């Protein structure tokens, strides 16, 4: 199945469906299955897995920290580890920690579907979904500015280090002061770039009329209809089963 | 009345600050190439911002006097409306390019004008042809060289088909070959009846100008035919627009 050319609107539907399922499913097994399925979708969209793994690597400490915090603060069930009589790891804690872990991984993975189309395609998608074009462009500009912001952070850090500041050797109490010096020029520089960009857009007649035309128009293919139908129907079915299950549990507990 | 009329224009950014422009008056006729020369900080870019309506509409400050572009008073028209008359190309192409392909970038302005899709496509083709960048049509502007980015930024403005084109140090970062190429394009545009204002501090870049205006500390100190003004060696040296000897030439035996 060649999913690489599917319409960006279909991709938005896929992301919404996957994220919705990630919110409503609440067993580690099902969430793991959902995460695996999301990876399959990514591979069908020819997303670079090495790039994803590199991005996930940076999240590992955060996810591990969440795993421990969640398992410590959600006690219940069999105690697996206790310190001085205080339960630290419980079966219920680990269960909810794994749920959160797989949920977060599914969110991150499904968000990567966004990267498989360019920003102009999403503007067209949003406009054809009847979102006002000013808002669609604002969303696009926000995406455009993420790498600019990262670049500015790197440049500012290099500039500070070139002036002889060794970031590794700064004491924690001084780091706060350092970051106030760091963020002021960073914010200033990003604001200037944002202003220049908005001036450029206006100087190219942006918003001169209420409407605008588009050189390209997005059109759904049969594959788009098929993919949307499969995702929407499956999501609704899973949500319905989940709802029935919740009702059953509530009935049994009465 | 000329294509551009600046009448007793004065401007200061803040009420308490000094005047950046001091009672400036000049006219640019239709089909003329005029070079505006001056050292950094003399007010050249401020004049460009006044011509495009960025001052007074988008940037604060106190402006007195009048600026007319093709008979339209910039005080009475928004920047996006003035964009139909005057095209502004700025120095830094990175803040002017924000769409994923060169084609999208050039189509942006005609799309804003609500032109029929066929007309938008025709304008994109004409501009790509004129600038000789047809092969870059589907390229990402972020991945282009500095010279190519400048051409795309200029193309994005030319697609508006403005009567007046203002280049605010748009060639400052270009090598000689790229400058020559842009000068050839500007001569071609003059033949098509466009009025062009080149803002520069480099004399070599303005060799194609019909007339030269020289600005110093916010005052217009010279307005004359290019052949006359650029030949006044002593005057140019006195106002630091030309070196007595090209620096470094002797050292290399040139």
Query: Which site among A215, A216, A218 would you substitute to test the B interface, given the most B Cβ atoms closer than 10 Å to its Cβ?
Result: A215
Alpha helices in B35-116 (DSSP H): 44-51, 54-57, 79-82, 102-112
Same domain, A73 and A194: no
Range among A13-22, A183-192, A193-202, B234-243 rated most confident: A13-22
Same domain, A134 and A170: yes
> Does residue A201 belong to the interface with chain B, where contact is any CB pair within 8 Å?
yes
pLDDT tens string B108-162 = 999 999 999 999 999 999 999 999 899 999 999 988 988 899 999 999 999 999 9
For B80, which of A120, A141, A207 is closest by C-beta distance? Answer: A207
Q: What is the pLDDT of residue A143?
A: 76
Whether residues A209 and B114 touch (CB distance < 8 A) is answered with yes
* Domain, as residue range, for A203: 118-219
> Does residue A150 belong to the interface with chain B, where contact is any CB pair within 8 Å?
no
Same domain, A146 and A248: no
Q: What is the pLDDT of residue B248?
A: 52
Summary mean pLDDT of chain B: 89
Under DSSP, the state recorded for B225 is E
> Does residue A145 belong to the interface with chain B, where contact is any CB pair within 8 Å?
no
Summary mean pLDDT of chain A: 85
The residue-averaged pLDDT of B190-212 equals 88
Q: What is the pLDDT of residue B46?
A: 94
The residue-averaged pLDDT of B186-212 equals 89
Same domain, A229 and A104: yes
Q: What is the pLDDT of residue B24?
A: 95
Q: What is the pLDDT of residue A248?
A: 87
pLDDT over 80 (residue A86)? no
The residue-averaged pLDDT of B28-55 equals 93
Same domain, A176 and A204: yes
> How is domain B1-85+164-254 classified at the CATH fold level?
Rossmann fold (3.40.50)
User: For residue A200, which residues of chain B lie inside 8 Å, CB to CB?
Assistant: 90, 95-96, 98
The residue-averaged pLDDT of A162-173 equals 78
Same domain, A138 and A166: yes
Whether residues A208 and B116 touch (CB distance < 8 A) is answered with no
Dihedral sign for Cα B79, B81, B86, B92, please: positive
Band of residue A240 on the pLDDT scale cut at 50, 70, 90: very high
**Contact status, residue B226 vs residue B210, Cβ threshold 8 Å:** yes
Whether residues B111 and A215 touch (CB distance < 8 A) is answered with yes
Same domain, A171 and A234: no
Range among A137-146, A151-160, B38-47, B232-241 rated most confident: B38-47
Share of chain A above pLDDT 70, in %: 98
Same domain, A54 and A24: yes
CA distances from B100 to A95, B137, B174, B230 (A): 43, 11, 23, 42
Same domain, A122 and A70: no
Same domain, A33 and A69: yes
CATH 3.40.50.300-classified regions of chain B: 1-85+164-254
Q: What is the pLDDT of residue B245?
A: 61
**Contact status, residue B70 vs residue B85, Cβ threshold 8 Å:** yes
pLDDT over 80 (residue A83)? no
Band of residue B243 on the pLDDT scale cut at 50, 70, 90: low
Query: Which has the closest alpha carbon to A121: A148, A139, A145?
Result: A139
How many angstroms away from the CA of A113 is the closest CA of chain B? Answer: 17
Overall number of domains in chain A: 2
Same domain, A93 and A106: yes
Q: What is the pLDDT of residue B249?
A: 47
Calpha distance B24→B219 (Å, rounded): 7
Q: Are strands B164-168 and B86-89 parallel, antiparallel or unpaired?
A: parallel
Q: What is the pLDDT of residue A1?
A: 57
Same domain, A49 and A83: yes
pLDDT over 60 (residue A194)? yes
């Amino acid at each position: 199945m060649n999913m690489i050319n599917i319409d960006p609107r279909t991709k938005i539907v896929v992301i919404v469906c996957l994220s919705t399922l990630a919110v409503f499913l609440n067993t580690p097994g099902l969430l793991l299955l959902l995460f695996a399925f999301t990876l399959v979708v990514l591979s069908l969209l020819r997303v670079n897995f090495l790039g994803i793994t590199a991005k996930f690597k940076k999240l590992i400490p955060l996810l591990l920290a969440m795993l421990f915090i969640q398992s410590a603060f959600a006690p219940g069930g069999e105690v697996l580890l206790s310190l001085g009589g205080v339960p630290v790891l419980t079966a219920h804690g680990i269960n909810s920690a794994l749920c959160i872990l797989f949920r977060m991984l599914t969110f991150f993975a499904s968000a990567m579907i966004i990267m498989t189309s360019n920003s102009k395609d999403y503007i067209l998608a949003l406009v054809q979904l009847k979102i006002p074009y000013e808002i669609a462009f604002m969303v696009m500009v926000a995406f455009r500015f993420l790498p600019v912001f990262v670049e500015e952070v790197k440049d500012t850090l290099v500039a500070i280090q070139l002036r002889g500041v060794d970031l590794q050797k700064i004491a924690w109490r001084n780091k706060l002061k350092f970051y106030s010096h760091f963020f002021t020029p960073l914010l200033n520089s990003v604001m200037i770039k944002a202003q220049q960009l908005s001036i450029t857009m206006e100087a190219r007649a942006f918003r001169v009329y209420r409407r605008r035309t588009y050189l390209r128009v997005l059109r759904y293919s049969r594959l788009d209809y098929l993919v949307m139908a499969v995702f929407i129907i499956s999501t609704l079915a899973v949500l319905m089963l989940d709802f029935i299950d919740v009702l059953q549990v509530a009935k049994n507990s009465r | 009345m000329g294509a551009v009329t600046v009448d007793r224009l004065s401007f200061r950014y803040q009420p308490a600050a000094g005047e950046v422009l001091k009672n400036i008056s000049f006219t640019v006729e239709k089909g003329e190439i005029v070079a505006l020369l001056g050292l950094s900080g003399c007010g050249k870019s401020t004049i460009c911002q006044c011509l495009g309506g960025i001052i007074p509409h988008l940037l604060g400050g106190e402006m007195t006097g009048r600026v007319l572009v093709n008979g339209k008073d910039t005080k009475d028209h928004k920047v996006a409306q003035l964009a139909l008359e005057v095209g502004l190309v700025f120095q830094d192409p990175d803040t002017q390019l924000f769409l994923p392909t060169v084609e999208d970038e050039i189509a942006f302005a005609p799309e804003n004008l609500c032109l029929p899709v066929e007309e938008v496509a025709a304008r994109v083709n004409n501009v790509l042809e004129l600038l000789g960048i047809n092969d870059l049509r589907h390229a990402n502007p972020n991945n282009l060289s500095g010279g190519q980015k400048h051409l795309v930024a200029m193309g994005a403005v030319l697609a508006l088909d403005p009567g007046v084109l203002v280049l605010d140090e748009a060639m400052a970062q270009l090598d000689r070959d790229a400058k020559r190429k842009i000068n050839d394009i500007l001569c071609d545009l003059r033949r098509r009846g466009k009025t062009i204002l080149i803002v520069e501090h480099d004399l070599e870049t303005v060799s194609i100008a019909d007339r030269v205006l020289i600005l110093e500390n916010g005052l217009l100190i010279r307005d004359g035919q290019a052949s006359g003004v650029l030949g006044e060696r002593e005057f140019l040296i006195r106002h630091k627009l030309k070196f007595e000897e090209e620096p470094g030439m002797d050292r290399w035996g040139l």
